[in-house]
Amino acid sequence: MNPTSTPARPTLQIALTPGTIDLAWGHPAAEFLPVAAMQRASTAALQRYGAAALTYGHPAGPGPLLDWLCQRIGQREGRTPGLHEIMITGGNSLGLDQLLTLCTVPGDIVLVESPTYHLAVRILRDHPLTLVPVPADGDGLQVEALAETLAELRREGKRARLLYTVPTFHNPTGISLSAARRQTLIALAEREGLLIVEDDVYRELAYDGPPPPSLWSQAPLGVVARLGSFSKSLAPGVRLGWLTASPSIIRRLTDGGLLDSGGGINHFTALIVTLLCESGDYDAGVAQFCNTYRARRDALLGGLAQALPPTCSWYRPSGGFFTWVILPTGMNSRALLPQAEAAGVSFIPGPKFYLEPRGENTLRLAFSYYPPASLAEAGQILGNVIRNFGR
């Protein structure tokens, strides 16, 4: 084959269909990604650290970034991670996979709130685990149902290893776990010896006031392993995040073969991000993202309010990227999708976010990528499609 005739390999994950407002993609607003700030920070990192920026990094991550994170977490959450309670990860996806690799064994039972982030389920299923759903509602994970599930497992002579949850600005629903349920969940997990894996990727993207306190910040040491990330608050391409957990978990990860062989995750990128954060560009970028996404959320919800029939409902998220639409009883979102796409709007049907066969009359919409006018139009189009479905 002539090399010049070979199709170009793709560069990006996202693949959009021309003429379609595709609300399936939970991606950032590309025009607001911090290109200039990253350029400045890259130059500054090489000037400050020289060759040390380009060699193998410390397994837990570079000290300057860990120090910045500890200070910020302490100021924002009222609890500062101890020296051995935090490490840098390659983002939440790699952090979750690392936790599962070192904290579970084949056959372990892992509890998952339902609905949940569908791509986290793919990571969970990469491991030979038994996944058990726990239902959620408008106040988040149903802790009473979790307690019943744990009791039933005990009666069967079984024990759950951990719980995966997104309690703040949930993906896919946008809901945040209520304050009362947070306290009850922490107490239950401590009593049962259940490790909570808290996916906290959307914490910085709060649009109606401060986010709820993290489970990690409220729990006794060792009850929660919290995954944070720069993917949503800075740029997903940096592939950089952090884990706050007990010293025993951090030690197992930092002493493992992956970091013993390769050194710190994304060492050069971590030093660039350090300089960007210290410069004030990080805070400025987060503020811009929040203003942008708040306006986009409001535009989409405004379009839905005008166009959806009264038999539909949806959640108003206080942060994050997503809202969750509940269709009239008996309507199937998978059957609705081709009609919506023919009209110019796409989404992810609700069943994609469940372990069990549920959610046929639900769907997820992402509002992060498109400008307000397109989102308002998408709401109008979707409403018209729903009103005319089956005619």
For residues 43 and 173, state if they share a domain.
yes
Q: Are 369 and 25 spatial neighbours (Cβ–Cβ below 8 Å)?
A: yes
At residue 391, does pLDDT exceed 80? no
| 201 and 346 together in one domain | no
- Whether residue 323 is contained in a domain is answered as yes
Domain closes at, from 280, 299, 316: 280
Domain end (from 280, 305, 340):
280
Q: Evaluate the omega torsion of the peptide bond into residue 172 and state whether it is cis, within 30 degrees of 0.
A: yes
Q: Are residues 236 and 262 in the same domain?
A: yes
43 and 23 part of one domain: no
In the chain, the amino acid numbered 89 is T
If one counts the domains in the chain, the total is 2
User: How does pLDDT run across 11-20, given as a tens digit for each residue?
Assistant: 888 888 899 9
66 in the same domain as 172: yes
Residue-level pLDDT at 8? 84
Percent with pLDDT over 90 in the chain? 94
Q: Could you say which of 231, 256, 280 is where a domain stops?
A: 280
Q: Other C-beta atoms within 10 Å of 145: how many?
A: 16
pLDDT value for 5:
63
What mean pLDDT do residues 66-84 have?
A: 97
Q: CA-CA distance, 233 to 319, in Å (whole number)?
A: 12
**CATH (domain of 288):** 3.90.1150.10
Q: Which amino acid is at 113?
A: E
Check whether residue 135 and residue 209 sit in a common domain. yes
| End-to-end Cα, the chain, rounded Å | 50
Residue 357 domain-assigned (yes or no): yes
Residue 11 located in a structural domain:
no
Q: What is the pLDDT of residues 122-179, one digit of tens each?
A: 999 999 999 999 999 999 999 999 999 999 999 999 999 999 999 999 999 999 999 9
| Distance set, CA 336 to CA 42, 318, 349 (Å) | 46, 27, 9
Confidence band (pLDDT; 50, 70, 90) for 29? confident
The pLDDT tens digits for 275-322 are 999 999 999 999 999 999 999 999 999 999 999 999 999 999 999 999
Q: Is the pLDDT of residue 108 over 80?
A: yes
Q: What is the pTM of this model?
A: 0.96
For residues 160 and 248, membership in a common domain is answered with yes
Tell how strand 140-141 and strand 130-137 pair up.
Answer: antiparallel
Could you tell me if residue 7 is inside a domain? no
Q: How long is the chain?
A: 391
Q: In this structure, are 359 and 221 located in the same domain?
A: no
Is there a single domain that holds both residue 193 and residue 287?
no
Domain of residue 81, CATH code: 3.40.640.10
Q: What percent of the chain has pLDDT over 70?
A: 98
The model's confidence at residue 390, banded by pLDDT at 50, 70 and 90, is low
Whether 5 is covered by a domain: the verdict is no
User: Do 214 and 328 sit in the same domain of this protein?
Assistant: no
Has residue 4 been placed in a domain?
A: no
3-state helix, strand and coil shares in percent for the chain, rounded to the nearest 5: 45, 15, 40
pLDDT at residue 1, as a whole number: 46
d(CA 207, CA 272): 27
Identify whether the C-beta of residue 227 lies closer than 8 Å to the C-beta of residue 197: yes
**Among 134, 144, 212, residue whose Cα is nearest residue 178:** 212
Half-sphere exposure of 194 (CA within 13 A, CB side): 29
The pLDDT of residue 136 is 97
Mean pLDDT of 364-377: 98
Same domain, 265 and 319: no
Same domain, 111 and 208: yes
pLDDT greater than 80 at residue 100? yes
Domain of 288, in residue numbers: 16-34+283-387
Identify whether the C-beta of residue 231 lies closer than 8 Å to the C-beta of residue 122. no
Q: Would 271 be classed as within a structural domain?
A: yes
Buried b (16+ CB within 10 A) or exposed e, 193-205: ebbbbbbbbbbbb
Q: Residue 166 domain-assigned?
A: yes
